[in-house]
Amino acid sequence: MAVSKSFLVSSKLETLLSNPNDPSSSPAPLIRIPTCPMNNNGSRRGLIQRARCEISSSKAASVSALEQLKTSAIDRYTKERSSIVVIGLNIHTAPVEMREKLAIPEAEWPRAITELCNLNHIEEAAVLSTCNRMEIYVLALSQHRGVKEVTEWMSKTSGIPVSDLCHHRFVMYDKDVTQHLFQVSAGLDSLVLGEGQILAQVKQVVNLGQGVNGFGRHISGLFKKAITAGKRARTETNIAAGAVSVSSAAVELALMKLPAHASSSSARMLVVGAGKMGKLVIKHLVAKGCTKMVVVNRSEERVVAIRQEMPPGVEIVYKPFDEMLTCAGEADVVFTSTASESPLFLKEHVESLPPVADGRLFVDISVPRNVDSCVGELDSARVYNVDDLKEVVAANKEDRAKKAMEAQGIIAEESKQFEAWRDSLETVPTIKKLREYCERTRAGLVERFMSKHGDGMDKKTWKAVEDLTRSVVNKILHGPMQHLRCDGSDSRTLKETLENMQALNRMYGLDVELLEDKIRVKVEQK
């Protein structure tokens, strides 16, 4: 029976996984054998039964089952390894209007991981969502289909058309993903070189991903190694020396835009929001010489805590949110950094405020934005958001390039170590399956022997037979296992090791079992 090469295994995955609990939704089999129906007791058991049924039924064909597997599209999922992919939009590729629609709060990251892993071709996932970037990291069974599914998911959750996402997104695979994330963690991809907040955010991905089904070995390993790379880059190159965070850049931008007669000590400062970013703004203002400011927040407790951390002589005045517009009318500079999903300052609000010399300055470092874009149309206001911080960064290009080059050497070293670790995982499923196959064979033969010749055999002799047969199996497996090693301990290349793995898969019929495991995992995720 010939195999249709045009029939893709991914079709099977898509149809089955769209409704794993409904046996009626079962797709056509890998090998077209109509006499092997889906098991009505459940999709997972049915899948395994079908795969085995297909093999047994095809034995009668002129082409062996293994040859059919070898020449069919099943090879895509057993010979090719899954790819690590990042699909993202950041400050370099997409405007803030698009990024704020894509933003996912930290509390929603575990839910997003679960939803992403429910997609047909996604095995593992992680979300890195900050004010400057929205990046989805996945382990995909298929590069093309994985990217397509994630992009459609991003469109569905944000309301942005797929065509617009495709225009602004960037996509990377495998080694390029590793290098990109390590650069992000080291602060090399940030607006401000070496900013420390991004490393903390990468750590948070790991913290929130622990225990989440879908934050698996490959993706979690990638992020953990990124943390190591980021720490090394900062420690060994002093890349963070003199560098600032987004909040620090916001303060520098505000001071650059002050009128000539004003200074950090004389300008009236208002900070809306006393969260992490707001607290950093306050600290940077104090570091620049500001000794008095008003802080608007929903609760006074946070403001009191921040006040206690300030040096003597710094006056921080707390005001509740219902007095925000009044406070803004008395300020020269307004910083906003809240988690509000709708603008706090609308055009009509700002238009009614008393004017100040050279226009009131709004520095909005929130995503979504706290200051409506229409406010910038007023002559009485000057509005800046996170995209405008590029002006601050431009002043230190030469030093940034020098430190970045030093950090790149560390990133290359850490990337090589991660890729070697990931390569070492490639042959693990085959090693496991080959051992299971040999153990099943050994145990079956021993049981058959004992049923015929074991009467009257004492326990010591029985144990000796078990030990002897296990020793024989281990001796026979020693050579194949040595040729499946992929840990850099010998001169064998990854290509040679993978060829050995594929040969063993074919010889012992492990291809279908490996595919069953992949499908089983997807069904369990569903």
For 271-297, the three-class secondary structure string (H helix, E strand, C coil) is: EECCCHHHHHHHHHHHHCCCCEEEEEC
The pLDDT value given to residue 404: 84
The neighbour count for residue 289, using CB atoms within 10 Å, is 11
The stretch 12-17 carries a mean pLDDT of 47
Gap between the Cα atoms of 83 and 173, Å rounded:
7
474 CA to centre of own chain: 39
Q: What are phi and psi of 96, to 5 degrees?
A: -60, -30
The stretch 431-452 carries a mean pLDDT of 84
- pLDDT band at 61, cuts 50/70/90? very low
- pLDDT band at 488, cuts 50/70/90? low
Active site residue 290: no
Burial (Cβ within 10 Å: 0-12, 13-18, ≥19) of residue 398: exposed
The pLDDT value given to residue 19: 53
Residue 18 has pLDDT above 60, yes or no: no
Write the pLDDT tens digit of every residue in 342-352: 999 999 999 99
The stretch 132-136 carries a mean pLDDT of 95
Q: Where are the alpha helices (H) located in 118-245, listed in sequence order?
A: 143-158, 162-168, 175-186, 197-209, 217-237
Write the pLDDT tens digit of every residue in 321-361: 999 999 999 999 999 999 999 999 999 999 999 999 889 99
Q: Which amino acid is at 275?
A: G
The pLDDT value given to residue 65: 40
The pLDDT value given to residue 58: 40
The pLDDT value given to residue 261: 80
Q: Which of 525, 329, 350, 497 is nearest to 428 (CA)?
A: 497
The stretch 77-96 carries a mean pLDDT of 84
The pLDDT value given to residue 325: 96
Contacts (Cβ under 8 Å, ≥6 apart) of 279: 302, 306
Q: Where are the alpha helices (H) located in 27-170, listed in sequence order?
A: 43-58, 65-71, 75-78, 96-102, 109-117, 143-158, 162-168
The stretch 256-272 carries a mean pLDDT of 89
- Cis before residue 110, ω within 30 degrees of 0? no
User: Out of 3.10.20.30, 2.60.40.10, 3.90.1150.10, 3.40.50.720, which CATH number does the structure's domain 244-392 have?
Assistant: 3.40.50.720
Q: Which residue has the tokens 């079962």?
A: 26
Most confident of 66-75, 381-390, 491-500: 381-390
Residue 383 has pLDDT above 80, yes or no: yes
Question: What residues are paired with 333 via a beta bridge?
Answer: 269, 361
Six token digits for residue 79:
């010979």
User: Out of 3.65.10.10, 3.40.140.10, 3.30.460.30, 3.30.70.1150, which CATH number does the structure's domain 81-235 have?
Assistant: 3.30.460.30
388 CA to centre of own chain: 27
Q: Which long-range contacts (CB under 8 A, 24 or more apart) does 124-128 make?
A: 124/214, 124/215, 124/216, 124/217, 124/218, 124/219, 124/220, 125/214, 125/215, 125/219, 126/205, 126/209, 126/215, 126/219, 126/220, 126/223, 127/205, 128/88, 128/184, 128/201, 128/202, 128/205
**What's the pTM?**
0.58
Residue ranges of the chain assigned to CATH 3.30.460.30: 81-235
Q: What are phi and psi of 108, to 5 degrees?
A: -95, -5
Q: Which residue has the tokens 């940077």?
A: 284
- pLDDT band at 494, cuts 50/70/90? low
Residue 521 has pLDDT above 80, yes or no: no
Residue 106 has pLDDT above 80, yes or no: yes
The pLDDT value given to residue 472: 87
Gap between the Cα atoms of 52 and 296, Å rounded:
66
Alpha-carbon dihedral sign for residues 246, 252, 257, 259: positive
Write the pLDDT tens digit of every residue in 164-178: 999 999 999 999 999
The pLDDT value given to residue 263: 86
Q: Which residue has the tokens 């070995």?
A: 217
Residue 102 has pLDDT above 90, yes or no: yes
Catalytic residue among 131, 290, 327, 486: 131
Residue ranges of the chain assigned to CATH 3.40.50.720: 244-392
Between residues 196 and 270, which one has the greater pLDDT? 270
- Hey, what's the torsion of the CAs at 28, 30, 33, 35, to 10 degrees? -60
Gap between the Cα atoms of 344 and 298, Å rounded:
13
The pLDDT value given to residue 76: 52
Between residues 215 and 68, which one has the greater pLDDT? 215
Write the pLDDT tens digit of every residue in 218-246: 999 999 999 999 999 988 988 876 545 68
Residue 8 has pLDDT above 50, yes or no: no
- Averaged confidence pLDDT in the chain: 81
